[in-house]
Structure 1
Amino acid sequence: MTADPMIRPGDGSGQPVTPSDDGGRPTGEAATAVIAVHDAAVVLGGHRVWHGVDVRVSAGEFVAVLGPNGVGKSTLLKAILGLQRLASGRISVLGAAPGRTRSSVGYLPQRRSFDSSVRMRGVDVIRLGIDGSRWGLPLPGRVARQRRQRIDELVELVDAGRYAHRLVGELSGGEQQRILIAQALAHRPRILLLDEPLDSLDLPNQAAIAGLVSRISRSQEVAVVMVAHDVNPILRYLDRVVYLGPGGSVVGPPDRVLSSDSLSALYGTPVEVLRTSDGRMVVVGQPDSPVPHDHQQGGD
């Protein structure tokens, strides 16, 4: 029997914490977690962004980070990268402190795009992920052949063969996103962190990129953690959800976390989760609806 999702109070009220199975795969000691977040808290400018966050992510899992604007979803990714210090708690990435295993972590930040003034081809952008930190010009020989082979592999992996040799500024948003995902995968990372990669894409491209990320996660055994503006394009692929809210955090399978009971407890007010005839999820009953989110600039 599956337990209810874990609700970690974020207001110091001392409300009970219900047990959690953290999803449909073994976690904790039963499986090697490539990311382990334990009772983590972040404080920015004297303001507690979130605390009491607990989540473990295993190889091949696809986990979404959801929540209203300004709740610190992107901050969680930065903490995993070692770019944001914790106020308390701990994070382990591949058994080490965050930042010590960056070569094994691929990262795609928010709102990366190229306009027509960028005179680089898609393959050039991918190449930067392979040797962008090297000094000087690449020399011919075995290393150059290996680099070309890896670029070809990445182009095939993201299905970008039709346009990878075109100028990246001429590509559509979905095509650019595939190129950037390929760049993030250049060094065969074991973890892929994606910060709203579906933002500004039309619905067909959202669906296509969501399917691509899921396929990469499964076929390459890459752990994916994605911050999402709208859960619907990725809902069918998710193993678990980390929902950050004003009353704490909830971790568990999507159908349990994104439920009326779970979100009502998190927000401290009645929340209703509805399913449309085409299977999309809509949340009503709070001012900043999380699914889909009202996207704004903020401390996320």
Structure 2
Amino acid sequence: MSGAIALEGRTLTVAYGGRRVLDGLEVAITAGGVTALCGPNGCGKSTLLRALAGLQPIQAGSVRIDGRALGTLRRRERARALALLAQANEVPAGLTVFELAAYGRHAHRPLIGGLSTTDRTAILDALSATGLREHAARDVTALSGGERQRAWIAMALAQQCRVLLLDEPTTWLDVRHQVELVLALKALNRERGITIVCVLHDLNQAAALADRVLLMQAGRILHDGPPDQVLTPDNLAEVYGVEMWRLDHPESAAPLCVPAFAPVRHRSHEFRS
């Protein structure tokens, strides 16, 4: 791993009811990259993401963004630095796509007064980047699942943050909308340099989207690196406890992970690729 560090967790310890979910975890997120957090349910992926966002109380350790302790930043400074999109977001009825995106401007606006020309420009730019400008006047609740996810991302873009954290952004979406969202996130990273960290269950989405995968188990990062180095049959068997076949995408050569639908009984044989 090389390059400037955008977001860093040092010796992070998080516990629920006396049980440690993260125990002295160390992680450094490279600026301008896309990092996927992967692993089985309950391994601490979402807890780590929330801790990095400053929304999860930690018992020990610290979080730093651009070298500054996150806890020392004022709310507006923090909002300009990073945004977290949770798994499920409730939208009040009657809220338009433009109005939802406008919430992202709170960190830049005075406490009193309407939207400025700068605000409106940022909102329309965010809607254009997510392919929703023509839907600005639509009720958010009338959007499809994929469009609604992009509307939330537009809100984060209007916030003009440097780091975007997403918790299972493709959950509940059909295949088409999953693909569209992954492609939209890749474009945002490539064209705008936004640092993206996302929790993903789908390993093939992680391989397609991320340039770095953190494979977690029981609150620890067991494997860390590019998808083609991390998403190997041995690593996946170790973390998930099932045999996986590793194939190569016919065009991109990105790894494709296919479960063998059998529990791991022994580890001595080689997997075919």
Q: TM-score range by the shorter chain?
A: 0.7 to 0.9
Match of 2:231 in 1: 258
CA pair 270-150 structure 1, distance change in 2 beyond 3 A: closer
2:113 aligned with 1:131:
no
Partner of 2:49: 77
Counterpart of 1:241 in structure 2 is: 213
- Alignment partner of 1:281: what SS? strand
With normalisation by structure 2, the TM-score equals 0.82
Matched, 1:188 2:164: no
Q: Give 3-state SS (helix, strand or coil) of 2:169's partner.
A: coil
Identity of aligned residues (%): 31
What is the alpha-carbon root mean square deviation over aligned residues? Answer: 2.6
Asked whether the equivalents of residues 13 and 23 of structure 2 are also in contact (C-alpha less than 8 Å), the reply is yes
- Does the CA contact (< 8 Å) of 1:240 and 1:254 recur in 2? yes
Structure 1 residue 172 corresponds to structure 2 residue 147: no
Could you say which structure has the greater relative contact order, defined with CA pairs below 8 angstroms and 6 or more residues apart?
1
Aligned to 2:118: 146
Q: How far did residue 73 of structure 1 move?
A: 1.2
* Deviation readout 1:214-269 (Å, 9 max, x if unpaired): 111122111100011213234222111112113832221112222122234446x6
Q: Which amino acid aligns with 1:149?
A: T
Q: Which has the higher helix share?
A: 2
**Structure 2 match to 1:111:** 88
Give the corresponding residue for 1:38: 10
Paired residue secondary structure (2:161): coil
Residue number in structure 2 paired with 1:157: 129
2:9–2:28 CA contact under 8 A, matched in 1: yes
Q: Which amino acid aligns with 2:148?
A: Q
Q: Given that residues 276 and 282 in structure 1 are in contact (C-alpha distance below 8 angstroms), is that contact kept between their aligned partners in structure 2?
A: no
Aligned residues: 252
Counterpart CA distance in 1 for 2:18 and 2:88 is: 27
Q: 2:188–2:194: 8 Å Cα contact kept in structure 1?
A: yes
* More moved, 245-254 vs 163-172: 245-254
Return 227-236 or 205-214, whichever deviates more.
Answer: 227-236
Which structure 2 residue ranges, 5 or more long, are not aligned? 265-273
